[in-house]
Structure 1
Amino acid sequence: MSPAPRTDVARSTIPSVSINGSLLPPRLLEDLLELRVVRGTRSTGRAQLTFVDRTFNVGGSELKLGAELEITAIEPKTTIFTGKITAIATEADSEGVRAIITAHDASHALARSSSVETFLEQTSADAITSIAQSNGLTATTPPTKSGRADWAWRADSLLGQLDELCEREGWEWIIEGKDKLVCVETSSLTVPTSTATLELGAQLLRFSAEQSGPLRTDVEVRGWDLKTKSPITSKATTPSESSGFQARKDSPPAANSIVTRRAAHTQDAAKVLAKSFAGAAATVTARGRAIFAPTVQPGKAVTITGAGPGDGTYYVREVEHVYDGGTLRTSFVAGFRPPTRLTDPWRTARTGGSVLASGIHTAIVSDLKDPDELGRVAVTIPSVSDQHTLSWARVVTPGGGNRKGIHWLPEVNDEVLVAFEDGDVSRPVVIGGLFNGKDAPPKIGQQLNEGKVTKRALVTRAGHKIELSDEDGEKGYVDIVLAGDKVRLHLGADKIDLETQGKPLRIASGKDEIAFDGNGTITIKAKTIKLAAQTDVVIEGANVKTKGSAAVELSAANTTVKANGMLKLQSSGVAELAGSLVKIN
């Protein structure tokens, strides 16, 4: 006689269904046609119950949208699903009318929640914990190895942000029970402790395993460190999978992958990203079907025996429990290899988060005090939220480089246009400022002539201006003007003017200077002052005084001293008048 099937782990059983803590009435339980529970890593758990709707009441008064649903295996007593009813449907055909009740676990609220948050200098675990707490969940995460960073996301899906953060760390998430969010490290391909053992021919009804190449993928992640102005590079290789099915190998080729545009800002972050992407290139997938096995759980491990080459311990990705009037059955998908999508299997799926973003946005400058003094500004994006500030944004600068370039920062409350480096929300870049209905362009007079711009200008908030005429010939000029036209330098093709309107003006070279005091006095100081003219030198004034501390000398071919009134020549010493002929009238 063959041995009886073992029932210590996987047993034949029937489900117990509770609504808001009360057991489902027997009349409804008798009408239950099918019960299906699907739970998996990085996916929302779902339960679907199909009833015969004899009274055309779509499940009766007990089954309402928002009611809490709990499904428990009676023997062994194990809760296999907890969630809330999210949909009620009716379906009719020639066989009758059916009521279909759908419920989702707590992650469903994250998928429906949209929020805008920023976390400065926090780990991804901190951000995940905050997401969980804001939705009434408690989070458990492995230690964060990528270090602290600035996290921000758009107003779409918190679930997408959670998924994106876990992907960066090489984690997978799962909802356990009513309100526990658990993250599991998978990038090392280390199988966790097994929670179930299934023997083929006993509990295990069917099992298959597959290993596909390439068996090794070399991943290189590249990024940019703006503080050191240097590239960031980290490499990782897919770890070996030795705890489950292993196919025969004949020098299979390795694959190479270079990953960019993934927000690797530090060496630690690049290292974690490389390890995560390398781990995602796992090669083993297993599938099984068993008598109800409640201890086979996503995010845990299952041990397979009696399956020959397939014996081993496998990481569980997805579990499905089905009851259709007979006994509960369990199907599972295991192995570290991510599931293949029906669309492009090589394309990274876009999530609802926003560590990565695309496009450009209008923003408002909120702060100028860059802690690292890198010429950055803080901005908010009003179309997303006016409550949250993004990370410090670099400003695009013409000619920017080492101690050079135009240093022209926008100011607080200025509207600017913002893009993101490699689509990374934590790396905003200000492209330039924008005029709008309240912030008008500066007034510089007529600018256009037959489709051409004739004037260009740089204008400060105070009104100081550099104006350039972009016309040919005598109309070309450059004006430097202080606010209020109090000081103006005009460099024109027709003339050059410097006007100070009563303000002092000093022109100096070393100790030599020409000074205008603004009140009518001009002072020229120099070691030697020379005046030279090809024709006349005219000095004219109400009073002309010439004084030499040592001597005064007048020399010319002909010299005339003439007074229209009195002429006085006086000396405190000897007075000498000499000439080849001296005439005194």
Structure 2
Amino acid sequence: MSTNPFNTAGVQLHVLVDGVPLLEQSAMLISNITVESQLFLPSLCEIELVDSGQGVLLENGLVAGVLIEIRAISGEDIIGVPLFSGQVESIELRFDHTAGVRSVVRAYDLAHKMLHGRKTTGFPLSLYSEIVEAIGLEHGIATLAEPTEVPYTMVVQSNESDWDFIVRLAREVGYVTFISIDPAVGLPSLYWGLMAPAETAPPPVGVELSPRAIVIGDDGLISLRATVSGSGLTASASTRGWDQSLAIPAIGEGPTIGDASANVLLPVELATELGGPTAQLVSLERIAENEAATEAASVGLGFRLAGSYSNIEAIVRGNPFLMPNSAISISKAGVLTGEYTVTSSTHTFEPRSFGYRTQIMCAGYEDRTLMGLQGAAESTFKLNGVYPAIVTDVEDPEFLGRVLLSFPWLSETFVSTWARVVQQGAGEGLGMQIMPEPTDEVLVAFENGQLDSPYVLGGLYSADRLGAVPAAELIEGTTMVRAFTSREGHQLLFNDNPDDSSLTIQTTFGASCIVRLSPETGISITTIEGQPIIINSDAEVTVNSEGAVVINASEVTLSGEGAVEINGADVSITAEGAVEITTEGAITLTGSDINLASEGSVSIEADMISLVAGEINIAGGIVSLGA
């Protein structure tokens, strides 16, 4: 026989509304009180009262929004043990000819505050525990978040409620979360941390049996079903990722760690025995950003995997000490004797039938209720496919060619982490490098559908943001023109029109310099508004042509720091005006014959003229030699 006072039929559940007990005559009308509590879920309290006059709720102030408490009272203990603290969310009326009219009040603990609405926001350079503390503070809930060690570049709450978000973070690293109640003062707080170790359960020995010790055959135990299974277990778990800063894979591994210590093999030992030491579960549920993040996620995956190792379901006489995250011991259970951690509890009080009973489940990190089955599919908001975004910043602090993005269709305030930009032919020292600019619309895809890991695939045009070349010119039955235009109007134009086929390079939309290559007209270089054409070279400049080379200009100047040579089969110099040859040195004319001809006079002036030849002939109508 147990001496635990809460394993007796005399225990009752009392209701307090805003700290005040129900009226005595109203408490007599209670037909059922149910408190359901489970890791990762808000606790639910349902109170059913016989209400033939339909006035008991108003008499006691039981309306939506009021705070209620449920306490287990035994003997002379008028304070009792707190089971529930929360807020009324709904009121219901039931009727049937057997039970008559009943009023039902349904309340949820403080976690319900974090389930109202969804949002998208980012937490840059944060620890998961810091994020949870910030969310708890935002909702005015006292929070105990066990510290995590891995800082993340950006953690994104992706169109999720605050509760779903912190649950996702907890599951990823092998933590649990729920609203716990301090048994001493009855105050609720948000717990986010490791599951209570099963080995902290009290031993099933002593003068007074602990209320968290279950003994097969004890009168406090009504029924029990215990199972340990290695089905589907693997010796280790692994998550994968990609380190963008190093461009290398990130691989984490963790053992299958259980939450129970039965007199049989532990989860990792059982998995090794059944599946072999190399069997491993690889999860791609989340692609982590570096090795530290994959290691943390692998540990969390190992905890969740071990949840299938043991399953305990028990019904006992009312026991308010059996709550989620409390460690219990089971004895006289043969090979299943051991310690386990409670993951869910249902406390039911029916004063007109069996009184107060407690049902518990120890199922590790896996939710095996119908609600858990409904939510078995991945609940994280995934962005599969491609989405439009707006570039907000291109000043990458690490100079890696990344950009920041906003998603106006998703959130007015959310800005992404630094996103890599897809570049054609990208490789070490090669490929295109064309960066979008702030306010540009771009098309984005997300790694593994995760909002915290975007990639920019390319830019987009719209009715308000057209390209520099009108679409009508780009397409005339078929694609005629392909163009690339910079912000300042520098263009590369490929024109496939058979009447004007060409490749054109031009600046400022053709307002200054144009280089045009055409199979019909050749190569043309044009400048506008007085822009010069300058050719500079540290070596030779050679112009070869099988045809003529024509230079037309208002003035032509040939200058050389060394010799200037003009060679040709025939050399002809023609001028409409005078021809002047000036040199500071000698002028030498050499030829087989030299003819000087003029329709006018020929004048030679010098300080001295010397004519030397084998024979000199001077002929003329009049020849004058004198000084």
TM-score by length of 1: 0.89
In structure 2, the residue matched to 1:364 is 390
Map of 1:325-340 to 2, 5 A cutoff? 325=351, 326-336=354-364, 338-340=366-368
- Structure 2 unaligned segments of length 5 or more: list them: 182-186, 203-211, 543-550, 621-627
Following TM superposition, by how much is the alpha carbon of 1:57 offset from its aligned partner in structure 2, in angstroms? 4.5
Cα distance 1:198–1:583, how it changes in 2: closer, same or farther (>3 A)?
farther
Matched, 1:182 2:196: no
Matched, 1:119 2:123: yes
Cα deviations across residues 237-296 of structure 1 (Å, max 9, x unaligned)? Answer: 213666125379794124422223513111110111111112211111111111111111
Q: CA deviation at 1:481?
A: 3.1
Asked if 2 retains the 8 angstrom alpha-carbon contact of 1:58 and 1:88, the reply is: no
Which residue of the other structure, out of 274, 298, 316, is the alignment partner of 1:274? 298
Q: Distance in 2 between matches of 1:51 and 1:230?
A: 63
SS at match of 1:231: strand
Q: 1:148 to 1:156 in 2, by over 3 A?
A: closer
Structure 1 residues 478, 22: CA separation in 2 closer, same or farther (over 3 Å shift)? same
Give the aligned partner of residue 246 of structure 1. Answer: 264
Compared with structure 1, are the counterparts of its residues 81 and 240 closer, same or farther at alpha carbon in structure 2 (3 Å cutoff)? Answer: closer
Cα 1:44–1:543 change in 2 (3 A) is farther
Report deviation, 1:545.
4.1
Distance 1:323 1:239 in 2: 36
User: 1:95-174 residue pairs with structure 2 within 5 A?
Assistant: 95=98, 96-174=100-178
SS of the residue corresponding to residue 130 of structure 1 reads helix
Task: Quickly say closer, same or farther: Cα 1:55–1:540, change in 2 above 3 A.
Answer: farther
Does the Cα contact within 8 Å between 1:194 and 1:313 map onto a contact in 2? yes
> Which residue of 2 is the match for residue 91 of structure 1?
94
Q: Indicate the structure (1 or 2) with the bigger Cα radius of gyration.
A: 2
Instruction: Give the structure 2 partner of residue 199 of structure 1.
Output: 215
Q: Distance in 2 between matches of 1:324 and 1:569?
A: 140
Give the secondary structure class of the aligned counterpart of 1:163.
helix
One-letter amino acid matched to 2:400: L
Q: 1:9 to 1:413 in 2, by over 3 A?
A: same
1:5 aligns with one of 2, 8, 15: 2
Q: Equivalent residue of 2:462, what SS? A: coil
Q: Using the alignment, how far apart are the partners of 1:455 and 1:271 within structure 2?
A: 52
**Aligned residues of 2:238 and 2:301 also touching (Cα < 8 A):** no
Report which stretch shifted further, 56-65 or 175-184.
56-65
Query: Could you tell me how far apart the structure 1 residues matched to 2:372 and 2:94 are?
Result: 34
> CA offsets per residue over residues 398-417 of structure 1, 9 Å max, x none?
11221322211111122222
1:523-558 deviation digits (Å, cap 9, x = unpaired):
554755554556665554645444556555555566
Q: After the TM superposition, which of the residue ranges 112-121 and 250-259 deviates more from structure 2?
A: 250-259
Q: CA deviation at 1:194?
A: 2.8
1:336-355 alignment to 2 at 5 Å?
336=364, 338-340=366-368, 349-351=377-379, 353-354=380-381
Q: Give distance in 2, aligned partners of 1:114 and 1:503.
A: 59
CA distance in 1, matches of 2:606, 2:285: 92
- For the Cα contact (< 8 Å) 1:211–1:247, is it kept in 2? no
3-state DSSP of counterpart to 1:268: helix
Q: Which residue of 523, 544, 554 corresponds with 1:496?
A: 523
**CA–CA separation in structure 2 for the residues paired with 1:164 and 1:17:** 33
**Distance verdict in 2 for CA 1:227–1:567, change over 3 Å:** farther
Relative to structure 1, the CA distance from residue 567 to residue 54 in structure 2 (aligned partners, 3 Å threshold; closer, same or farther) is farther
Work out whether residues 173 and 298 of structure 2, in 8 Å CA contact, stay in contact via their aligned partners in 1.
Answer: no
Tell me, which stretches of 5 or more residues in structure 1 are unaligned?
Answer: none
Residues 1:302 and 2:328 are matched in the alignment: yes
Q: 1:554 to 1:270 in 2, by over 3 A?
A: farther
Kindly indicate whether the alpha-carbon contact (under 8 Å) linking 1:468 and 1:479 is maintained by their aligned counterparts in 2. no
Partner of 1:82: 85
CA contact (8 A) 1:245 1:284 kept: no
Question: Is the counterpart of residue 413 in structure 1 residue 411 in structure 2?
Answer: no
536-545 or 253-262, which deviates more:
536-545
CA contact (8 A) 1:225 1:265 kept: yes
Q: Distance in 2 between matches of 1:445 and 1:155?
A: 38
Cα distance, 1:548–1:251 mapped onto 2, change above 3 Å: same
Spell out, residue by residue over 1:105-144, the C-alpha distance to the aligned partner (whole angstroms, 9 max, x if none). Answer: 1111211132232111111111111221111113222221
Percent identity between matched residues is: 22
Matches within 5 A, 1:224-239: 224-239=242-257
Which stretch of structure 1 is more off in the superposition, 481-490 or 248-257?
Answer: 248-257
SS of 2:423's equivalent in the other structure is: coil
Counterpart Cα distance in 2 of 1:286 and 1:491: 81
Shift, 1:314, TM fit: 0.5
CA contact (8 A) 1:6 1:202 kept: no
Q: Does 1:260 align with 2:296?
A: no
Q: Supply the distance in 2 between the matched residues of 1:398 and 1:8 (Cα, whole angstroms).
A: 75
> How far apart, in 2, do the equivalents of 1:447 and 1:400 lie?
31
- Aligned counterpart, 1:55: 53
Question: Distance between the aligned counterparts of 2:201 and 2:607, measured in 1?
Answer: 122
1:184 shift after superposition: 2.5
Tell me by how many angstroms 1:456 deviates.
Answer: 1.3
Which of these residues, 209, 224, 227, is aligned with residue 210 of structure 1?
227
Q: Aligned partners of 2:197, 2:315: CA distance in 1, in Å?
A: 24
2:69 — aligned with what? 70
Tell me which amino acid in the other structure corresponds to 1:499. T
CA distance in 1, matches of 2:378, 2:514: 57
Distance in 1 (alpha carbons) for counterparts of 2:131 and 2:255: 28
Task: Label 1:450 to 1:228 Cα distance change in 2 as closer, same or farther (>3 A).
Answer: same
Judged with a 3 Å threshold, the aligned counterparts in structure 2 of structure 1 residues 361 and 51 are, in CA distance, closer, same or farther, namely same
Cα distance in 1 for partners of 2:316, 2:371 equals 30
**Partner Cα separation in structure 2 for residue 381 and residue 343 of structure 1:** 33
User: Could you tell me which residue of structure 2 aligns to residue 433 of structure 1?
Assistant: 459
- What's the secondary structure of 1:389's corresponding residue? coil
Once residues 615 and 285 of structure 2 are traced to their aligned partners in structure 1, the CA distance between those partners, rounded to angstroms, is 99
Q: Provide the secondary structure at the position in 1 that maps to 2:524.
A: strand
The worse-fitting range, judged by mean Cα deviation, of 464-473 and 128-137 is 464-473
Mapped contact 1:38–1:320 kept (Cα < 8 A) = yes
Tell me, yes or no, if the aligned pair for 1:193 and 1:301 is still in contact at 8 Å. Answer: yes
Q: Is the 8 A contact 1:36 1:49 kept in 2?
A: yes
Q: Equivalents in 2 of 1:416, 1:110: separation in Å? A: 33
* Match for residue 415 of structure 2 among 389, 396, 407: 389
- Distance of aligned partners of 1:20 and 1:510 in 2 relative to their CA distance in 1, 3 Å threshold: same
Alpha-carbon distance, 1:464 to partner: 1.6
Question: Which residue in 1 is equivalent to 2:21?
Answer: 23
Matches within 5 A, 1:501-512: 501=528, 502-510=530-538
1:150-190 superposed Cα distances (whole Å, 9 cap, x missing partner): 1122333111211111112111101113551111324xx94
- SS of equivalent to 1:436: coil
Cα separation, 2, equivalents of 1:292 and 1:28: 22
Partner of 2:404 in structure 1? 378
Displacement after TM superposition at 1:99 (Å)? 1.7
